[in-house]
Structure 1
Amino acid sequence: MSTASTQPQNNTPDGLLALSSIPQRALVRTLLVAHQDRANPAKWVHLLAAEFGGPVGMRMNHLAMLLKAGTPVADALEQTPGILAPSGLMAIRLASETGTLSETYEALISDQGLESESTDSSWRNPRSEFTRVLFGFIVAWFILSFMMIFIMPTFEKMFEEFGLELPPITIALISVSRRGGEFFFFGIAIFAMMLLGRLFFFGEKRPQRFNPFRWHERFVPPAVNLLSLLAIVVGSGRPIASGLETLSKCHHVPQTRRRLAASCERVERGEDPWATLASEKILTTRESQALSVAASSDVQAWLLQWLAESRFDRRSVRHHLLTQAISLASLFLLAAVVAWVCIAIFLVLTSLIGALA
């Protein structure tokens, strides 16, 4: 049996480390070419900065200056905020210590992990479904608002002139729309205040959370990326303790950083590394037991990659089901409102026709 079928290719989890941002992928590709040619990438990064311009170009120019001054690539990237995603920074840091830079660069720019999102975005990327539902609500809101602002007042005046009473369902609709409008604008004001407070007083970026303003970029949870990063360490043949020590210093989530530091201390005292990761809630008990009985580091690296893919797939399925449920409930709500408006207007028209007849 071929060993390629049982061992991970290049010991790098291509699918989950792949970057989706175009400037970041271009930068990593430039670093890969420079690494293969054993050249300083400063000049190429500077030329790449001219291609993008704006804040991205400024960050790349800063990176080029650091590289020109002789700063190692991993250090220069870490000293340039926002130049790469946190998972990419940690992967390059680990790769520079394990001697797997070429493989890691290729994993970061791989298309393998992004194919499913482009071919079946409704399953892999539920944000597209939210976008469709939101767009539908906006269109319906404008139509209903136009009817309630311009058409319903006209009907009210007509009924007053003819001395008629509006149908009860129409009166209820007008009352709810007026009260709903008051609450709607009040809610917008509260949301704007919260957003401004978040921007001005809590400006620290939270890359461990999904950012709806960057919907076009794939979001892989830190817990999933951590398994992919551990696979790099294990697949390189280095002791897991050294990888835990590195990650405990550079991981971007404080809680995970503390857990990794605690695991590292326990491993240095002679405890089983996989059991310590399970006790710190980084792995489950079953996952740690499977890794403990693995025959070799290659098998452990493959298993870590498989666990990362499995976690990501389960999360995608949960988000897909949640999105479908919210979309269905939203459609029912929208259908109920539209039906209410149609019935109210229909009763108004029938009442007017009956009065004129």
Structure 2
Amino acid sequence: MEILGLIYCLAFFVYFPIAGISSILLARRIKDYGHQAVNPLIKSFWLLFTMIMIFMSLAFLVCYLLLVITHHHSILGSLFLILPVILFFPIPIILEINCYRAASALNKGAEYVLPESLRNLTQKIQALGWISLGTPLMLFVPVLIFAPVAITASLSLIVSLVLFAILFLGFTIIVSLLRIAFVNKKANESELLWLLTVCVEKNIPLATELDTYSKTLSGKYREKIQELSSFLHSGFSLTEALSATPGLVPQSTIVAARIGEKSNSLGIALRDAAVQTTKNLKQLSDRSNIANLILYLSIVVSIQFLITGFIMYWIIPKFKKIFLDFGVELPPLTLSLMDTSDFVISYFYLFLPFCSLPFIVLFLMYFGNYYGWFNLRIPFITEWFPRLNTPHCLRQIAQSVSVEAPPLLALETVSEFHRWSDVRVRTHLINNNINQGENIWIALRQNKVINSAEASLCATAEKMGNLPYVLRTLADTIEQRRARKLRYLTEIIKPVLISLLGIFVGLFVIAIFMPLIKILRDLI
């Protein structure tokens, strides 16, 4: 146990932070100074360092697995011990492999500008680096929550219960405030987009109208609107001003506005964005249901964890001693519970990260909802889900087609200004295919942006002359289908999770009371 705990602590508190910090520094160095004219000694150092880190990660992994195998636990116990390895150890291995790829790409190629593929790789390295650096915090979250309760429980049970109630009441209040802030931000986005739409369509000066609008606001949002207005007064275009003041509107709106400025359809772009933002504002209940489900599970599981931990640590050992003194043979289910209690107490540090997962997922969900998932630089996601950006892509093509501009104009703008580098890379490939004579719908299908049925529908709509309407309807249909699947998934998960919690509580209670029933039966 001691050696296993030592390896676990070294991996979490030494290796993971070093891997995270070094990878973030490498990614920032490439991003800030480029990939050319790098000192060969520095390149050799990075390559050697990443190879050493990969070797250390594999050494940690092998030592950990050997210790688990030689501890002679049951199959279920060994699986529990190996679970942290399966979940967390691949992170630094994948991170260091990507760092090795990035370091190998230094001083290669004739272009001084950072290639899109290397830019995408540095974003992945930064994301994985921050994850690796933040992994040790997963051990501290449950400690910060449960340690005060456990300490006060040894002094007074009532005080510990009051403290636990205060902690979770505060947590619930924070979550509610985050939700209010999220809804308020989305409402501000919708209001601003409608204001910009009316001004552009009616040829009203934007800067003057924004100055008047800012007088009705307060706080940081008022300062941002005034900053946007000052950029417009300075001669910036609308898209340049919006890019210089991030957070006011979604990034997809800025891309659509750039297409509008190039194709003289800015009013159409802003109106489409305003309609879509208002529609999303009305559909916040689906996201709230998921967040409420995770919040409910976090509180219920935490309460169960505290009660179970208290019983296993204080009650079960005394319980076991009493029945052994009476010479009562314990039922198999009770013995299994006691063995599980001893196992959890011996390897409690392995279970701490899993206690943090619901809180981390809840935090990430509110963080992403507040800033907007499409506004964050998230690698991997569109590689795993290439159709994630499909609705935006279809609306942007519809915007160009509606003013009789070529669809390639929209795709070129996306390949240049989209926030996600892998979307830029994929769109650039689509542009190359179209320039080589490929049909646009076939090119989109080959790059997994649309499927075969959608490609056929778009080709037919193009021949019939109602392509903009079909593209916008198709984009809405895809989003509605996703929301419906998410709603179905939530409704399926709810009873399953509640049933699992009920089964766990039932087995726990039965295992506790079966010896008492046996004693009463023997006395009768």
CA distance change for structure 1 residues 298 and 90 in 2, over 3 Å: closer, same or farther?
A: farther
| Range with bigger deviation, 272-281 or 212-221 | 212-221
Q: Does residue 85 of structure 1 match 2:250?
A: yes
Paired AA for residue 418 in structure 2? H
In 2, the alpha carbon distance for the partners of 1:250 and 1:272 equals: 23
Q: How much has 1:161 moved relative to structure 2?
A: 5.3
1:310-337 per-position Cα deviation (integer Å, ceiling 9, x unaligned): 3223333443444445444433332221
Q: How much has 1:131 moved relative to structure 2?
A: 4.1
1:63-88 per-position Cα deviation (integer Å, ceiling 9, x unaligned): 34423322111111122344432222
CA distance change for structure 1 residues 47 and 141 in 2, over 3 Å: closer, same or farther?
A: farther
Q: Does residue 350 of structure 1 match 2:517?
A: yes
In 1, the alpha carbon distance for the partners of 2:448 and 2:296 equals: 37
Partner of residue 213 from structure 1, selected from 366, 371, 385: 366
TM-score (norm 1): 0.72
Partner of residue 267 from structure 1, selected from 434, 437, 440: 434
| Range with bigger deviation, 57-66 or 83-92 | 57-66
Partner of residue 343 from structure 2, selected from 179, 191, 211: 179
Q: Does residue 168 of structure 1 match 2:332?
A: yes
In 1, the alpha carbon distance for the partners of 2:257 and 2:247 equals: 15
Paired position in structure 2 for 1:43: 211
Q: Does residue 294 of structure 1 match 2:461?
A: yes
Q: Does residue 152 of structure 1 match 2:320?
A: no
In 2, the alpha carbon distance for the partners of 1:353 and 1:92 equals: 78
In 2, the alpha carbon distance for the partners of 1:184 and 1:298 equals: 66
In 2, the alpha carbon distance for the partners of 1:177 and 1:149 equals: 7
1:144-176 per-position Cα deviation (integer Å, ceiling 9, x unaligned): 334334443442344355454544322211221
Q: Is the 8 A contact 2:187 2:281 kept in 1?
A: no
Partner of residue 189 from structure 2, selected from 2, 5, 24: 24
Q: How much has 1:264 moved relative to structure 2?
A: 2.5
Q: How much has 1:231 moved relative to structure 2?
A: 1.9
Q: How much has 1:226 moved relative to structure 2?
A: 1.6
Q: Does residue 283 of structure 1 match 2:450?
A: yes
Q: How much has 1:343 moved relative to structure 2?
A: 0.6
CA distance change for structure 1 residues 267 and 176 in 2, over 3 Å: closer, same or farther?
A: same
| Range with bigger deviation, 61-70 or 303-312 | 61-70
Paired AA for residue 237 in structure 1? E
Partner of residue 96 from structure 1, selected from 253, 261, 279: 261
Paired position in structure 2 for 1:63: 228
- Give the SS at the match of 2:218: helix
Name the count of aligned residue pairs: 319
RMSD: 3.8
Paired AA for residue 344 in structure 1? A
CA distance change for structure 1 residues 285 and 174 in 2, over 3 Å: closer, same or farther?
A: same
Q: How much has 1:300 moved relative to structure 2?
A: 0.8
**Larger relative helix fraction:** 2
Paired AA for residue 211 in structure 2? K
Q: Is the 8 A contact 2:259 2:409 kept in 1?
A: no
Paired position in structure 1 for 2:301: 137
- Give the SS at the match of 1:31: helix
Partner of residue 392 from structure 2, selected from 208, 215, 225: 225
In 2, the alpha carbon distance for the partners of 1:73 and 1:183 equals: 58
Q: Is the 8 A contact 2:313 2:345 kept in 1?
A: no
Paired AA for residue 350 in structure 2? F
What fraction of aligned residue pairs are identical, expressed as a percent?
23
- Give the SS at the match of 2:206: coil
Paired AA for residue 426 in structure 2? R
1:167-200 per-position Cα deviation (integer Å, ceiling 9, x unaligned): 432221122134235555324358989x99xxxx
Paired position in structure 2 for 1:206: none
Q: How much has 1:30 moved relative to structure 2?
A: 4.3
1:224-253 per-position Cα deviation (integer Å, ceiling 9, x unaligned): 222222222222321112112112111222
Q: Is the 8 A contact 1:227 1:308 kept in 2?
A: yes
Paired position in structure 2 for 1:5: none
TM-score (norm 2): 0.52
Paired AA for residue 303 in structure 1? V
Paired AA for residue 186 in structure 1? L
Q: Is the 8 A contact 1:42 1:65 kept in 2?
A: no
Paired position in structure 1 for 2:58: none
| Range with bigger deviation, 247-256 or 97-106 | 97-106
Q: How much has 1:338 moved relative to structure 2?
A: 1.0
Paired position in structure 2 for 1:256: 423
- Give the SS at the match of 2:466: helix
Partner of residue 240 from structure 2, selected from 70, 75, 86: 75
CA distance change for structure 1 residues 332 and 104 in 2, over 3 Å: closer, same or farther?
A: same
- Give the SS at the match of 1:223: helix
Paired position in structure 2 for 1:6: none
In 2, the alpha carbon distance for the partners of 1:338 and 1:150 equals: 18
Q: Which fold has the larger relative contact order, with Cα–Cα distance below 8 Å and residues 6 or more apart in sequence?
A: 1
Paired AA for residue 249 in structure 1? E
CA distance change for structure 1 residues 310 and 34 in 2, over 3 Å: closer, same or farther?
A: closer
In 1, the alpha carbon distance for the partners of 2:269 and 2:210 equals: 20
